[in-house]
Amino acid sequence: PGEAAYPIRDLGELGQRARDVLAANDLGTMVTAAPNLYPHMWSWDAAFVAAGLSTMSVARALQELDYLLAAQWNSGMIPHIVFSDVPGYFPDVERWGTRGASPEGVQSSGICQPPVHATLLRRIVERATAAGGEDGRLAEEFARRTLPRWIDWHAWLRNTRGGDGSGLLTIYHGWESGMDNSPRFDGPYSRVRPGEMEPFVRTDTLKVTDHSQRPSDEEYSRYLWLVQQMADVGFDDARLPKVMAFQVKDVFMSAIFAAANEDLAVLAEQFGHSEEAPQLRQWSQEFRQGVDATVDQGTGLARDRDVLTGEWIGLPTIAGFAPLISTGSQPLLDRQLGIFEGPDWTGDPRLAFPLPASTSTTYEGLKPRQYWRGPVWPVMNWFLAHCLRRRGDEERYRQLREASLAQLMEGHFGEYYEPFTGEPLGSMDQSWTAAVALEWLA
């Protein structure tokens, strides 16, 4: 943990320190995902960061989203990394091999991340229009101008990743899920056999020196092999299904997409694109149903599916709660909330704070310090609470808020936290952690 950090005394100080973290990570053009480990813009991080920024400056928040949109590919895909000029992250744009595939002048990766953008844009617009004046005007102008771009993004996801009628989006890399090494992907990754590839040197393990907090070298060789497979076909969407060794229907991303389509439809109706709203609502419905249909009646959790083997992946990870984001079924919601608050999740009495870990704390494969294999991620706490609040569940929002604020008072704005001790892990001063702190306080 960074030396400068110290326990925070009160919520006023928490807000000030969170603002300081975002200001320190701001390159002017973009707020990097983290100061040291991640010196670039990440797609879903940027959406959360924009929401956090909007509590200070709506103009700065919209600028962040504009910067992300400027990297959108001609296909409509929003890339998962927009590179700054800061060196030190691997794989860099050269290793990605996206030059030629990405639009002229854009330095990006060649995969996507979960589409939380419309949901957070709606949040920003609501905040700005409630404030009125210049903020309201800026948000309205931004929405009118950029809606066609967000709709293109959703159309790309629906058509190239979810056009098979399953109501589920396919990912070709664990990085696309945003939950890179979650046990969800162990089965599919076990079948990825890296072939001949250029040697590589990781930089993440130079920065997070306790290597047990990061994915293993074996995992990284598979990650890089998949990058090479994509680069070999020039990131051609039509060829990926034929060549990729990793193809998973990602239930959590699909739930995010269902909710985001609803949010985009609301914005489209409000800001001059109402003719697109029925299509967006139809996609919302399609993916809501797709997610609900994955639920294992035995465990009550939603499941991913390995496209290449047809196998369901029903491990007890946070992705199992995808219906909390998207479902329209009250019985399913009630059942999921019961599990969420039960002894395998936030009701585990051993927890430092009653917050959902990235895998169930009673799962035999739990690794409480390792990335998406056990730690608690502050950004997930806020996102799930936000989804519950949108359903009118103020009480659960309040409980998650209280626990999350208590967790953050230790002062490091960790990327993730050890569930039983509350120790901050991974990167410190992580931007989206600071951003959700500001959201909790807003």
Buried b (16+ CB within 10 A) or exposed e, 224-263: bbbbbbbbeeebebeebeeebbbbbbbbbbbbbbbbbbbb
Judged by CB under 6 A, the number of residues near ligand 9WN is: 10
51, 120 in Cβ contact below 8 A?
A: yes
By CB under 6 A, is residue 180 in contact with ligand 9WN? yes
Scan for tokens 């959902």, then name that residue.
356
By CB under 6 A, is residue 33 in contact with ligand 9WN? yes
Which of 286, 344, 410, 415 does the annotation list as catalytic?
Answer: 415
- Catalytic residue status for 415: yes
- Catalytic residue status for 275: no
Give whichever of 111 and 388 is closer to ligand 9WN, judged by the CB atom.
111
Give whichever of 38 and 153 is closer to ligand 9WN, judged by the CB atom.
38
Q: Checking phi first, is residue 105 left (phi over 0); if not, alpha (psi -120 to 50) or beta?
A: left
Q: How far is the CB of 236 from ligand 9WN (least distance, A)?
A: 21
Distance CA(375)–CA(378), nearest Å, equals 10
Closest-CA residue to 79 (of 91, 90, 68): 68
Q: How far is the CB of 31 from ligand 9WN (least distance, A)?
A: 11
Within positions 34 to 63, which residues make up the interface with ligand 9WN, using CB under 6 A?
A: 38, 42, 44-45
Which of 180, 263, 276, 306 does the annotation list as catalytic?
Answer: 180
3-class DSSP state for residue 31?
A: strand
User: Token pair for residue 45?
Assistant: 């991080």
Applying CB under 6 A, the span of 10-18, 145-153, 174-182, 251-259 interacting with ligand 9WN comes to 174-182
Applying CB under 6 A, the span of 172-180, 295-303, 337-345, 350-358 interacting with ligand 9WN comes to 172-180
Give whichever of 44 and 83 is closer to ligand 9WN, judged by the CB atom.
44
3-class DSSP state for residue 339?
A: helix
- DSSP code of 108? B
By CB under 6 A, is residue 413 in contact with ligand 9WN? no
In DSSP notation, 398-412 reads: HHHHHHHHHHHTTSS
Within positions 76 to 115, which residues make up the interface with ligand 9WN, using CB under 6 A?
A: 80
Catalytic (active-site) positions: 180, 415
Give me the residues that bind ligand 9WN (CB under 6 A), please. 33, 38, 42, 44-45, 80, 175, 178, 180, 204
